[in-house]
Amino acid sequence: MNPKVMIFDTTLRDGEQALQASLSVKQKLQIAFSLEKCGIDIIEVGFPISSPGDFKSVQTISKNIKNSRICSLARCITKDIDIAAEAMSFSNSFRIHIFLATSTLHMKSKLKKDFNEILEMATLSVKRALKYTDDIEFSCEDASRTTMDNLCRIVEKVIDLGVKTVNIPDTVGYTTPNEISSIIKNLFERVPNIDKSIISVHCHNDLGMAVGNSISAIQAGARQIEGTINGIGERAGNTALEEVIMAIKIRENILNVSTNIKHKEIYRTSQIISQICNVPIPSNKAIVGSNAFSHSSGIHQDGVLKNRKNYEIISPSSIGLKEMKLNLTSRSGRAAVKHHMNEMGYKETDYDINELYASFLKLADKKGQVFDYDLEALAFINKQQEELEHFSLNFFSVQSISNGLSTASVQLLCGKKIYTESSTSSNGPVNAIYQALNRITHFPIILQKFQLVAKGKGKDALGQVDILVEYKKRKFHGVGLATDIIEASAQAMVNVLNHIWKANKVNEKIQNLKKK
């Protein structure tokens, strides 16, 4: 069996420090539950001395989390340590994480102390913490800029006192993989009692090397990695734990270690934290980004359809993601178009692939991204019909009162007929417009996503509205662009209505062909 690397999550402590607004107790508990379900070994749930709200959060979480170990942060100050222990007193077993700066820069400019005074503070604090629990973690703040002699001295001292985990943080993200590897190796060579403690690293991402540094530390002997889900945290963030975890899994033959993580919970946990913390995940983010398992190049799409291992080193299902995404763009080849048609249930004999692909390329150049319902329209509706939009917004007006009802009137061209409808809503003018449009079309639509993005700056900036709706168990995308965001919202819905109308026409044509 490969030795275990403990995963220490600080999303609720270091991660929350980077958020624009503090999380509620309920939100923190929800995150803690998701981390526990994912199999995180240690959850650092807060810094209890920092505020009454943080104390309450730590206390609430300690009452509810049973399978992961709870940890709280404390400075080398008696009151910090006492409050941390009190906040976690409902937990059967907990860890107190105490930290103290050890670099010459921090000692002189921040603490105004010499190294002997630092040793004394560390000694008194460790002894104090040991009165509450035998699970103490000691962090040498700014360890990566601490002289090797001083680092070895304090690590040996705290281990001798009974510290079970010693953390070597790259507090400002300054270190390179070779440097942190050298630091860890030096500790193992020079600290005589090093075998009595787990060596941990906590890397920041200021130079974009947090994950690389963490992996190098593992190879040098570290057996605990600290970080956050999605890499959120101070400044440029922390080590993205999901990246380290999957690197350990995929390169297990080289790293020769493993974790206790339930890998199929990774994607769900990432999404929960992104939503609660209101921190979007970049599309190109490793492991959990929307493009992590999507393919746009025609060559890649053909290769992955023949064997996913050609261009995927990680199976989407291994992190709890069921779908492989082949983006349909002008770079896509025939293989991707055939795959989408096949996924919709069409055989190659149902359409002409050459004509479809030629039409697809023209639409992709014009539209950017093509969806399955676009392919249906191209395959089964003649070009004249395809060019025409069945629905067109002639006119709309809205009246809205804060904390009151919004009223909307719309005039919609449906083919050659014009329909007018009105609606009121307590959820704002956009909802009122959508209800009025729905009264005209009678499509059973469920709005799943509404996103507004500013295009440009100033009063002339355009608002782009992207929506995703569900109609009869199928998803349809719509886009609207206008200086007036309500108009852009209305255009996006009309765009969706036209997609649905075309899909219905395709279905009618298919059914008629089957009858023949």
Same domain, 366 and 248: no
Whether 238 and 10 have beta carbons less than 8 Å apart is answered as: yes
Q: Is residue 289 one of the residues assigned to a domain?
A: no
Same domain, 418 and 348: no
Same domain, 135 and 206: yes
Q: Which region holds residue 463: left if phi is over 0, alpha if psi is between -120 and 50, else beta?
A: beta
Is the pLDDT higher at 494 or at 509? 494
Is the pLDDT higher at 368 or at 91? 91
Q: What is the pLDDT of residue 142?
A: 96
Residue 455 is encoded by which pair of tokens?
A: 């295009």
Q: Is residue 407 one of the residues assigned to a domain?
A: yes
In what helix (H) or strand (E) does residue 279 lie, and over which residues does it extend? none
Which of 107, 94, 117 lies closest to 45 in space, CA to CA? Answer: 94
Mean pLDDT of the chain: 88
- At residue 384 the predicted structure's pLDDT band, cuts being 50, 70 and 90, is very low
Same domain, 303 and 376: yes
Question: What Å distances lie between residue 386 and 50, 91, 222, 301, CA to CA?
Answer: 62, 64, 61, 27
Which of 17, 12, 10, 6 lies closest to 27 in space, CA to CA? Answer: 12
DSSP 287-321: TTSTTTTEE-SHHHHHHHHH-GGGT-SS-GGGGT-
Whether 151 and 183 have beta carbons less than 8 Å apart is answered as: yes
| Rounded Cα–Cα distance for residues 463 and 480 (Å) | 8
Which of 78, 83, 67 lies closest to 34 in space, CA to CA? Answer: 67
Same domain, 345 and 433: no
Same domain, 367 and 401: no
Same domain, 359 and 422: no
Residue 66 is encoded by which pair of tokens?
A: 């049973």
DSSP 223-245: -EEEEBGGG--STT-B-BHHHHH
| Rounded Cα–Cα distance for residues 255 and 266 (Å) | 20
The verdict on whether residue 204 carries a ligand-binding annotation is yes
Which of 182, 213, 259, 185 lies closest to 5 in space, CA to CA? Answer: 259
Q: What is the pLDDT of residue 386?
A: 45
Residue 273 is encoded by which pair of tokens?
A: 């934290």
Residue 277 is encoded by which pair of tokens?
A: 């913390």
Q: What is the pLDDT of residue 513?
A: 62
Is the pLDDT higher at 344 or at 254? 254
Q: Which of 359, 381, 403 is the last residue of a domain?
A: 381
Same domain, 106 and 150: yes
Q: Which of 339, 360, 381 is the last residue of a domain?
A: 381
Task: For the beta carbon of residue 386, count every other beta carbon within 10 angstroms.
Answer: 16
| Mean pLDDT along residues 445-471 | 79
| C-alpha triplet 98, 99, 102: angle, nearest 5° | 150
- At residue 296 the predicted structure's pLDDT band, cuts being 50, 70 and 90, is low
Residue 88 is encoded by which pair of tokens?
A: 């976690």
Residue 70 belongs to a domain with what CATH number? 3.20.20.70
Q: Which of 277, 308, 334 is the last residue of a domain?
A: 277
| Rounded Cα–Cα distance for residues 365 and 356 (Å) | 14
The verdict on whether residue 374 carries a ligand-binding annotation is no
| Rounded Cα–Cα distance for residues 133 and 74 (Å) | 14
Same domain, 404 and 339: no
Q: What percent of the chain stands above pLDDT 90?
A: 60
Which of 126, 120, 124 lies closest to 139 in space, CA to CA? Answer: 126
DSSP 14-54: IIGGGSSSPPPHHHHHHHHHHHHHHT-SEEEEE-GGG-HHH
Residue pointed to by tokens 């062909």: 513
Residue 127 is encoded by which pair of tokens?
A: 């002894």
Q: Is residue 169 one of the residues assigned to a domain?
A: yes
The verdict on whether residue 238 carries a ligand-binding annotation is yes
Q: Is residue 282 one of the residues assigned to a domain?
A: no
**What is the extent of the structural domain holding 488?**
391-515
| Mean pLDDT along residues 487-511 | 85
The verdict on whether residue 202 carries a ligand-binding annotation is yes
Among the residue ranges 35-44, 118-127, 164-173, 313-322, the one predicted with the least confidence is: 313-322
In what helix (H) or strand (E) does residue 476 lie, and over which residues does it extend? strand 474-482
Q: What percent of the chain stands above pLDDT 70?
A: 89
Same domain, 377 and 395: no
Q: What is the pLDDT of residues 180-196, one digit of tens each?
A: 999 999 999 999 999 99
Residue 414 belongs to a domain with what CATH number? 3.30.160.270
Is the pLDDT higher at 193 or at 280? 193
Which are the contacts of 144, defined by CB distance < 8 A and separation ≥ 6?
168, 169, 170, 171, 172, 174, 175, 179, 180, 183
Q: What is the pLDDT of residue 506?
A: 78
Same domain, 54 and 92: yes
pLDDT at residue 210 tops 70: yes
| Mean pLDDT along residues 274-294 | 85
Tally of domains in the chain:
3
Q: Is residue 41 one of the residues assigned to a domain?
A: yes
Which of 220, 256, 260, 219 lies closest to 241 in space, CA to CA? Answer: 260
Q: What is the pLDDT of residue 376?
A: 67
Q: Is residue 285 one of the residues assigned to a domain?
A: no
Same domain, 67 and 106: yes
pTM greater than 0.75 (yes/no):
no
Q: Is residue 1 one of the residues assigned to a domain?
A: no
Q: Is residue 369 one of the residues assigned to a domain?
A: yes
Q: What is the pLDDT of residues 34-45, one digit of tens each?
A: 999 999 999 999
